[in-house]
Structure 1
């Protein structure tokens, strides 16, 4: 078995004791089980996937979007490991077509004919294994389809995901599986960065219902008729993150009740605290998903101008990935997908539109250092230690260490730190340019807060443009980087903040930037 997820299915005659033993047996194998309380066609994960695929296929078949546009949107904006059509090419068009027929025969609700898949099946274009499916292939052992990042910018993700959310609501309302197991299923079984209910709360339940009504009116398939649970949630005002309650509970400030991080807002600052002090704040997929979700919440929060990431306790920022989370066999391909999710969660800091400071007190090792390196600034206490020790485990950095360390300290020192796996002290980290500032332990929070407040007084729009020009302009040839700089400069000049800055300079007063 290649993937970590196992769905444990209770039949009509299965006792609770037998189901529990099966569940425990799966865990003893190092796998992650979810309990499916009733034997329904497609169980949990495939029902959600079929619903997602059906919507995407119909929207493409009816010329609302192209295949590449849909795949680009779900990969680069929603964070799925593969595009919807790319995944079908990988698994095989024949597999998807025949499984779809078998499931629909048992459950008419899932009977949503997709002319695209049927046409490819009849032509014998079965995906990568035949050299052609939704995309064309040249015959490599594992080729990736060419899907441009910018192609999916105009796709309405809610309309793509709404049927999958609708199916998840049906599963929950009918007692097929719990909220937690359904979300766990799509994250482990499909590699989604968030659970289907987490996506729903982020989109807004009312927007999901609106999208379903449009699909149902247009195509008249039962799969698209809003589930009573969703309509009830809208009537009760349980709309997701923005209302404070959806499938999950949210605090008054819009913060999730996180398990492995803490989010503390102190406008104009926000603190994200990696909260596993008993494990030196070692990183798990749950922690990274929660970090990603916290950044999403702060993305366009006008009260917050600077974000600070730090570790809980007094021993570590983060000592790296929790190696116990790698227990159990994992096929190379699925480990690749797992690692890409890790990279995407970390890289979101680099794309975040506001300045982010890594406040480091103690160890910043492995993945912990990789998180710190994606931040815009690093402030460390004198006792802190840094390193990329992965080589001692027979592996190498996997969340950006081989790329970002070079940019900060140069090729020679980066190779030394990565290939020897040595740790360095804070003063050495400052000397080579890995950290911006080293401060005494007793003045740590004061120094971090002071630095953050200086940033918060700056012009928010210009700071975003400057961050993007630096982060992304250095990844392309100099001429293109200069063009990017000129474009951002021209946009910044036309802001009210720029006018305020000039007037403040002329009248010899401190500017008051409003982000306008």
Structure 2
């Protein structure tokens, strides 16, 4: 998609039922903008419900996903007023963690385009995506222990997997915030680009993915995310792809010099 196409898609965005998201439906991707400007896009129960609806649509019709935030902030955390009223029963429901796990398990690749703060639940949402891009003002952090709770929606183990135990503990225990440069140097984000180029660059990265076979993307993500390496998993996934019409068409094009 060109920058012009991305702009046109943005103009066609529709509000989610709960009014917390702007959703752009494209042929091969969906662009979701977190939109609670009065709360710096803090994740509340209505946004959780809206994001579950996005997940349901992407499970039914798999497409690529871009997640971003409105107004120079990705998401400044979870809604503290709501968290203040939650008790043991709500914690055991895993309100945010179940959502972020569902996003992580979406069939096609997901990308978080992070501008400004991605803190607390906002950071955990970004960690749940397959890839991340950042603007120079992006800041990642998990200050939950300062509020008497822990980062219970995936940060305690996703951040360790992404960055290693030492850096994860610096963020989770010592309150370290990662700047965009830190995040790039440590491998948390793929690239740091100016804020005005963030969405066009995200679309360009998805354009590159979209040139691959959709079934190949789905199975590669599935195998890459599987816990514990096992050759049989690779073999079974490859067996499915070896029998696909898409594989034959793409290899024929390569052999005849007409790359897809």
Q: How far 1:487 moved relative to its partner?
A: 1.4
3-state SS, counterpart of residue 327 of structure 1: helix
How far did residue 433 of structure 1 move?
1.1
Deviation at 1:365, TM superposition (A): 0.9
Q: Which residue of 2 aligns with 1:290?
A: 50
- Which string of whole-angstrom CA distances, capped at 9 and with x for unpartnered residues, describes residues 401-441 of structure 1? 01110111011111111101121210110111111111112
Query: Equivalents in 2 of 1:421, 1:342: separation in Å?
Result: 21
What are the Cα deviations for residues 336-384 of structure 1, in whole angstroms up to 9, with x where unaligned? 324x132111111111111111011111111111111111110111111
Give me the whole-angstrom Cα distance separating, in 2, the residues matched to 1:271 and 1:445. Answer: 9
CA–CA distance in structure 1, aligned partners of residues 173 and 248 of structure 2: 50
Once the two structures are TM-superposed, the CA of residue 255 in structure 1 deviates from its matched residue by 8.5
Note the alpha carbon deviations across 1:127-163, whole angstroms, 9 max, x for none.
xxxxxxxxxxxxxxxxxxxxxxxxxxxxxxxxxxxxx
Query: Is the CA contact (8 Å cut-off) linking 1:255 and 1:297 kept in structure 2?
Result: no
1:257 aligns with 2:17: yes
Q: Is the 8 A contact 1:469 1:484 kept in 2?
A: yes
- Which residue of structure 2 lines up, in the alignment, with residue 504 of structure 1? 253
Output aligned runs, 1:208-223, within 5 Å. Answer: none
Shift in Å, 1:254 = 11
Aligned-partner SS, 1:421: coil
> Following TM superposition, by how much is the alpha carbon of 1:331 offset from its aligned partner in structure 2, in angstroms?
4.1
Give the deviation of 1:509 after TM superposition. 1.2
Q: What corresponds to 1:318 in structure 2?
A: 75
Q: What TM-score does the superposition give when structure 1 sets the normalisation length?
A: 0.46
User: Structure 1 256/419 Cα, relative in aligned 2: closer, same or farther at 3 Å?
Assistant: closer
Runs of 4+ with >6 A deviation = none
Q: Distance in 2 between matches of 1:386 and 1:433?
A: 13
Match of 2:152, SS? coil
SS at match of 2:173: helix
What do residues 171-222 of structure 1 show as CA deviations (whole Å, max 9, x unaligned)?
xxxxxxxxxxxxxxxxxxxxxxxxxxxxxxxxxxxxxxxxxxxxxxxxxxxx
Contact 1:288 1:346 in 2 (8 A): no
Instruction: List alignment gaps of at least 5 residues for structure 1.
Output: 1-252, 512-516
- Give the whole-Å Cα distance in 2 for the aligned partners of 1:442 and 1:351: 29
Q: In the TM superposition, what are the counterparts of 1:393-432 in structure 2 within 5 Å?
A: 393-432=147-186
Task: Work out whether 1:274 is the aligned partner of 2:8.
Answer: no
Partner of 2:100: 346
Residues 134 and 180 in structure 2, CA contact (< 8 A), matched pair in contact too: yes
State the distance in 2 between where 1:502 and 1:405 align: 38
Residue 192 of structure 2 aligns to a residue whose secondary structure is strand
- Once the two structures are TM-superposed, the CA of residue 485 in structure 1 deviates from its matched residue by 1.9
Residues 355 and 376 of structure 1 are in contact (CA less than 8 Å); yes or no, is this contact kept in structure 2? yes
Which structure shows the bigger proportion of residues in strand conformation? Answer: 2
Q: Which has the larger radius of gyration?
A: 1
Indicate the SS of the match to 1:299.
helix
What is the match of residue 232 of structure 2? 483
Q: Where does 1:82-481 land on structure 2 (aligned, <5 Å)? A: 257-301=17-61, 305-314=63-72, 316-328=73-85, 330-332=86-88, 334-338=89-93, 340-472=94-226, 475-476=227-228, 478=229, 481=230
Matched, 1:495 2:253: no
**Is the contact made by 2:58 and 2:106 (CA closer than 8 Å) also made in structure 1?**
no
